[in-house]
Amino acid sequence: MSARAALALAAALFAGPALADSCWTHNGSLMRLGANGEKRAFAYEVPRKGLADIGVKPGDTVFWGATDGKTYSGQAKVFSTECPGEATSYAVSGPVLDGGTRVVLSGQRRLYRACAPTGEFVADTLVFVYARQC
């Protein structure tokens, strides 16, 4: 999915009533989960300290995709200190766990140096834990 399509999907998901959204923690940040039917998107609500230095701001989408109720699948975005202001996406999927209070997504993401791909990949895991209604 292109960055433009991801932004359109995230905008559509977050256009609904705030009461339908929920807040989750991820790697020290507070995230908002937008849901519209089977579509899902996690975006930064309050990024952790230091992320602003690499261009992350509230509303930036980290995951967009869909759920079948037991599994999420879609694209994740990684923001890098190697290339501030730029982000790359990669395929992820994973289960909804602990009665729906935890989502664990895994995938293989490309490594970059000085904004150029190295040809190497690394396993990446994103864990989202339910915090509260937003």
What does the alpha-carbon distance between residue 5 and residue 100 come to, in Å, rounded to a whole number? 27
- Reading the block at residue 29, the tokens are 């940040």
Average of pLDDT values for 13-40? Answer: 80
Q: Would you tell me which CATH number, out of the four given (2.30.230, 3.40.50, 1.10.3470, 2.40.128), belongs to the domain 3-133?
A: 2.40.128
pLDDT tens-digit series, residues 87-106: 789 999 999 999 999 999 99
39-52 burial, b if ≥16 CB within 10 A, otherwise e? bbbbbbbebeeebe
**Residue with token string 């991820």:** 26
Residue 55 is classified by DSSP as: T
pLDDT tens-digit series, residues 41-81: 999 999 999 898 888 999 999 999 999 989 999 999 988 77
Name the strand (E) or helix (H) holding 7: helix 3-14
